Amino acid sequence: MADAATIAKLEEGFKKLQAATDCKSLLKKYLSKDIFDSLKAKKTGLGATLLDVIQSGVENLDSGVGIYAPDAEAYSLFSPLFDPIIEDYHKGFKQTDKHPAKDFGDVNQFVNVDPEGKFVISTRVRCGRSLEGYPFNPCLTEAHYKEMEEKVSSTLSGLEGELKGTYYPLTGMTKEVQQKLIDDHFLFKEGDRFLQAANACRYWPTGRGIYHNDKKTFLVWCNEEDHLRIISMQMGGDLGQVYRRLVTAVNDIEKRVPFSHHDRLGFLTFCPTNLGTTIRASVHIKLPKLAANREKLEEVAARYSLQVRGTRGEHTEAEGGIYDISNKRRMGLTEYQAVKEMQDGILELIKIEKEMA
């Protein structure tokens, strides 16, 4: 059972949400009085409560989603809140649906979406993974962070061929290395206010680090928002090459460290927007004509379930008509389908941009 002080904080937070009439988060939309009352006293085996789940959304009323999972069990224990939010965000992944088994598909079906190099500046495919047997950020101890970093860095040092590289711990990092990683846009900073409020940044920078291969086309973030963010990227539009590199890496890492997986929800991570395949395939793309006709851009994006963001990701503007465009669906479809949908959408956007000339 949650203690009295936690429940009092929860009551206060619930009142604040109810009073916030301009709050548009999914948390506010789905946290009814009934659901709140049925969950407020519950506690996971690792000690996480509803407060851990909702505190970021209570503190940041401008959140889009507003909840995080403090540990894997939270997805089951607090499912009356998680399930409808997951269904809403992952359009059409109903509470009775089951995420399919992992399937990277025929990796040779992916191509260079912009062989002339006129539109796509860079291409990136990433996925998130959690190490089995460890909670997520709010419940991790300092010892956990150190132990996980040790496991991850020794696993990565075994990678070979194109994936061979170096692990750089954030702890004790020299100014030179730090600057080099900043220049490459590889370095992650301590979490934003949404993550801070979710208690995702404790013991910073202990246990955090960055691995990249010598060519700088493969990157792993250790203990940033997720236990592992595995990223494959390069300049230009060769999605095929980027995807194949990611698949090789994920399969290789999984042989060495088991990942947290849920029968219904697929791969589990800290944020409910990032479940199932956890795959986000994106391009930085220049579409000046469509940029001037935002409505048309959004219409095509919606047809292919694409998310259109500003150049620097969520909550940013498009600089110089350059957008960050990615697949929005990650659940209820395979890895192959998620990336294929994004490839089809990007090819269509380029076709329309050319026709608008």
Residue 208 designated active-site: no
The catalytically annotated residue of 129, 208, 229, 330 is 229
277 is in an annotated binding site: no
Q: Is 38 annotated as ligand-binding? A: no
Question: Catalytic one among 59, 73, 309, 348?
Answer: 309
Q: Which of 245, 264, 280, 330 is catalytic?
A: 280
Distances (CA, A) of 279 to 7, 34, 117, 199: 36, 34, 24, 24
User: Which candidate in 149, 225, 335, 341 is catalytic?
Assistant: 225
The alpha carbon of 356 is separated from its chain's Cα centroid by a whole number of angstroms, namely 34
Alpha-carbon span 305 to 284, nearest angstrom: 17
256 is in an annotated binding site: no
Residue 47 gets the label, from left (phi > 0), alpha (psi -120 to 50) or beta, of left
Evaluate whether 324 touches 311 at the Cβ level (below 8 Å): yes
Q: Which of 299, 314, 316, 319 is catalytic?
A: 314
- 21 as an active site residue: the answer is no
Cα gap 41→36, rounded to integer Å? 9
The answer to the question of whether 260 is labelled as a binding residue is: no
244 annotated ligand binder: no
For residue 205, whether the previous peptide bond is cis, meaning omega lies within 30 degrees of 0, is yes
What residues are paired with 134 via a beta bridge?
A: none
State yes or no: 126 annotated in a binding site.
Answer: yes
330 is catalytic: no
Residue written as tokens 């990032």?
274
126 catalytic per annotation: yes
- Strands of the sheet containing 209-213, edge to edge, are 165-169, 209-213, 218-222, 228-235, 120-129, 280-286, 322-327, 306-309
303 is annotated as contributing to ligand binding:
no
Q: Is 309 annotated as a binding residue?
A: yes
Candidates 273, 277, 278, 334; catalytic one = 273
124 labelled binding-site residue: yes
Q: Is 313 annotated as a binding residue?
A: yes
Q: Is 125 flagged in the annotation as binding?
A: yes
Question: Is 280 one of the annotated active-site residues of the chain?
Answer: yes
127, 264, 271, 278: the catalytic one is 271
Does the annotation count 87 as an active-site position? no
Q: Is 99 annotated as a binding residue?
A: no
Residue located via tokens 């301590």:
190
Q: Catalytic residue numbers?
A: 126, 225, 229, 271, 273, 280, 309, 314
* Binding-site sequence positions: 122-126, 185, 229, 280-284, 309-314
* Binding-site sequence positions for ATP: 122-126, 185, 229, 280-284, 309-314
